[in-house]
Amino acid sequence: MSRRNLPLADRLGALREAVEVAEGRLEVPEVGQARALLAKAGARAALGDATVVALAGATGSGKSTLFNALSGAEVSTPGVRRPTTGVAHATVWGADGADGLLDWLEVPRRHRHDPEPALDGLVLLDLPDHDSIRIEHRLEVDRLVALVDVLVWVLDPEKYADAAVHDRYLAPLAGHAGVVLVVLNQIDRLDAAAAAQCLADLRGLLDREGLGAAPLLAVSARTGTGVVELRGELARRVTARKAASDRLTADVRGAAAALRAHCAVTDDGALGRGQRADLVEHLGDALADAAGVPAVTSAVERSAMRDGVARTGWPLVRWIRRLRPDPLERLHLGDERARTSLPPAGPAELAGVTTAVRRTRDVVGEGLPQAWRDDLRRTVEVSEAALADRLDGVVAGTDLGPDRVPLWQRAAGGLQWLLALVALAGAVWLLTLVVLGFFRLDDVVPLPRVEGVPLPTLLVIGGLLAGVLLAVVARPLVRLRSRRRARAAERRLRAAVDAVADADVLAPMAAVREDAARFRDAVERAGR
């Protein structure tokens, strides 16, 4: 399929998609213009495939005379006073009055031409001038130039190089060369050599303006020279019945070209998996600090330490530990709906978050044009504002890992009790000996000796010493275990925070980037 033949409906669909993607994201005037074009296209499509041709030109160029020559009747009154035509006139060929079309164009003065097979379906408009001191004429021309299907620019030997027509109308129509005809009227005022020179000069001017494809006809409305050729050119376009869609196609391509300024230059829409993981990790570092993950981790470690020591410590003093509050419980974690008692993030942490988010934004915004980066900034502002509460909830709701009492700690605890009991037994024994000795009943309770040391003394001293020793030996193990538990908690918290970073910060940014890519694809398709 050649690039020219892409159906108009597809182009309009692509443009509509681009406008929809840009809705609420891009704040640029081009989107509004594209939307207006879509509205115009919808309205025009509903009004049939008649061909609306407008004669436009400067005051005194002979538009009205040419209009009458084509209409075969005195429809528009030419005059010698300037400016002449103030409102547009229409001549309609064919049985169908095209009233709906003319109502849409807001052209009230209508003339019905007798049926003429070659031109059936032609609606010819005579526009006001565009260069006189009457500004309202110019506004009417601007309005209709945007709506009609084919533009016939009527120039004359005196004015053909005026800036008013070239800079304001012809040069901007460069993309519409297919629906523009240029007519050099009043050719009868020049001799043949001068006419040829003049036409060549005008042709060169048009070529430089990008209107090389627009036909240039020499016409004299007064003598009738060239009017047949002009009529033939119009008949060709009327019978082809595609002037309306040609015009809209050119419009859509123009709108797409205007939107292309806001298209990303890079090819990749979605972020790569590795890139995304890097960004999440970097964000997670900053967010974890801000969310108080280090504080929670340290509380977990100290809490585990406290419990472990209480369990494996020497039974006679371990209760003292219990008097201290559990650092973990003081944070009031566990309920993600309630606010925790974690201190709010300080300025340094918030600064870290801001910097990390900015860096992420810069990476995501790489290659995007300014309008999309603006949207990225707005998106980030929204997600950053809600971040603090979200993080607090996540930290509160994260399961910090199983709080099982390890077997060895139970065993050590049991052993401690056993040792305490041994010491107690020795003490009771000794006490009994003392009491019996008081009553001179020395031999009632035996007093075995081990290596010369009395057994009860051994029990007391051994039990106490072994208990202390066990507590001392267990302590590093308890510390090791609390560290492991803290690390496990940190891993879980980090995973939760990373999920927040991914879902609440990165995902909206990535969505902007994907939309930018979709937008670019749609604009490309519309403007191909």
Partner 1 sequence: MTAPPLRLPDALTALRNQLAAAHLGLATPDRDAAHRAARAVSDQIDDYLLPRLRDLDAPLLTVVGGSTGAGKSTLVNSLVGDQVTTAGVLRPTTRGPVLVCARADVAAFSGDRVLPGLPRVTGSAGGPGTVQLVARDDVPAGLALLDAPDVDSVVESNRQLAGQLLAAADLWVFVTTAARYADAVPWDLLRTAQERGTALAVVLDRVPGEAVAEVAADLSGMLERAGLSAARLFVIEERPLTQGRLPEDQVGPLRDWLHGLAADQEARAAVVRQTLTGALDSLEHRVLDVGAAMDAQEAAARSLHAAATAAYDGARAGVDEGVRSGTLLRGEVLARWQEFVGTGEWMRALQGQVSRFRDRVVSAVTGRPTPAVDLQGALESSVERLLRAEADRAAERTVTTWRSLPGGADLVAGAERELEQSSPDFPEAAAAQVRDWQGAVLDLVRDQGADKRSTARFLSWGINGAGAVVMVAVFAQTGGLTGGEVAVAGGTTAVGQRVLEAVFGDAAVRSLAARAREDLEARADALLRYEQDRFDVLVDAAVPAPTSAEALRTAVLELAAARRAAA
Which residues in this chain contact partner 1 in the complex, by CB under 8 A? 58-61, 80-83, 131-135, 138, 156-164, 166-167, 190, 194, 197-198, 201, 205, 282, 285, 295, 299, 327, 330-331, 341-344, 346-352, 354-355, 358, 362, 370, 373, 377
Annotate 196-224 with DSSP letters as a single string.
HHHHHHHHHHHHHTT-TTS-EEE--TTT-
* Nearer Cβ to partner 1 (136/399): 136
Q: Give the contacts of 359 (CB within 8 A, at least 6 positions apart).
A: 282
| Sign, CA torsion 481/487/489/491 | negative
C-beta of 322 vs 339, nearer to partner 1: 339
The alpha carbon of 78 is separated from its chain's Cα centroid by a whole number of angstroms, namely: 55
Query: Which CB atom, from 201 or from 389, has the smaller least distance to partner 1?
Result: 201
The answer to whether 52 and 40 have CB atoms below 8 angstroms apart is no
From the centroid of its chain, how far is CA 29? 17
Find residue 56's DSSP bridge partners: 153
Residues 175/257, Cβ–Cβ less than 8 Å: yes
* Complex with partner 1: residue 243 or 287, whichever CB lies closer: 287
Report in angstroms how near the CB of residue 304 gets to partner 1 at its nearest. 17
User: Least Å distance between CB 248 and partner 1?
Assistant: 29
Closer residue to partner 1 in complex, CB, 200/428: 200
Q: Of the two residues 19 and 371, which places its CB atom closer to partner 1 in the complex?
A: 371
Which two structure tokens, joined as six digits, stand for 395? 């930290």
- For the purposes of burial, counting CB atoms within 10 Å of the CB of 308, is it exposed (0-12), middle (13-18) or buried (19 or more)? buried
Least distance from C-beta 82 to partner 1, angstroms? 4
Give the shortest CB-242-to-partner 1 separation in angstroms.
32
- CB-CB contact of 202 with 182 (8 Å): yes
* Shortest reach from residue 517's CB to partner 1, in Å: 20
Q: What is the DSSP letter of 109?
A: E
**Identity of the residue, 358 or 410, whose beta carbon is nearer to partner 1 in the bound complex:** 358
Whose Cβ is closer to partner 1: residue 317's or residue 348's? 348
Please report how close the Cβ of residue 364 comes to partner 1 at its closest, in angstroms: 14
Amino acid at 275: Q
Sign, Cα dihedral of 202, 206, 212, 213: negative
Give the nearer residue to partner 1 in terms of CB position, either 150 or 214.
214
Which residues share a beta bridge with 57? 154
DSSP designation for 24: T
Minimum Å gap between C-beta 338 and partner 1 is 14
Rg over CA atoms, the chain: 45
Least separation in angstroms between CB 235 and partner 1: 30
Closest alpha carbon to 429 in 418, 437, 419: 437
For partner 1, give the closer residue by CB, 166 or 306: 166
Q: Give me the least distance between CB of 346 and partner 1, in Å please.
A: 3
Nearer to partner 1 (CB atom), residue 40 or residue 222: 222
- Looking at the Cβ atoms of 40 and 487, the one nearer to partner 1 is 487
**Best CA proximity match to 155, nearest among 137, 135, 124, 129:** 129
Q: Give the residue from 120, 61, 72 showing the smallest Cα distance to 93.
A: 120
At residue 406, the 3 state secondary structure works out as: coil
For the chain, the first-to-last Cα distance in angstroms comes to 12
Least CB distance to partner 1 at residue 482 (A): 14
CB of 280 to partner 1, least distance (A): 14
Give the span between the Cα atoms of 425 and 409, in whole angstroms: 24
Contact assessment for residue 423 and residue 460, using Cβ atoms and an 8 Å cutoff: yes
CB of 81 to partner 1, least distance (A): 5
Diameter over CA atoms, the chain = 160
Q: How far apart are CA 171 and CA 176, in angstroms?
A: 10
C-alpha to C-alpha distance for 174 and 280, rounded to whole angstroms: 48
Kindly tell me which of 37 and 505 has the beta carbon lying closer to partner 1.
Answer: 505
Give me the least distance between CB of 134 and partner 1, in Å please: 8
Nearer to partner 1, 65 or 245 (CB): 65
The answer to whether the Cα torsion of 60, 64, 69, 74 is positive or negative is negative
Q: Which amino acid is at 513?
A: R
> Phi and psi at residue 333, in whole multiples of 5°?
-85, 180
Q: How near is the Cβ of 166 to partner 1 at its closest, in Å?
A: 5
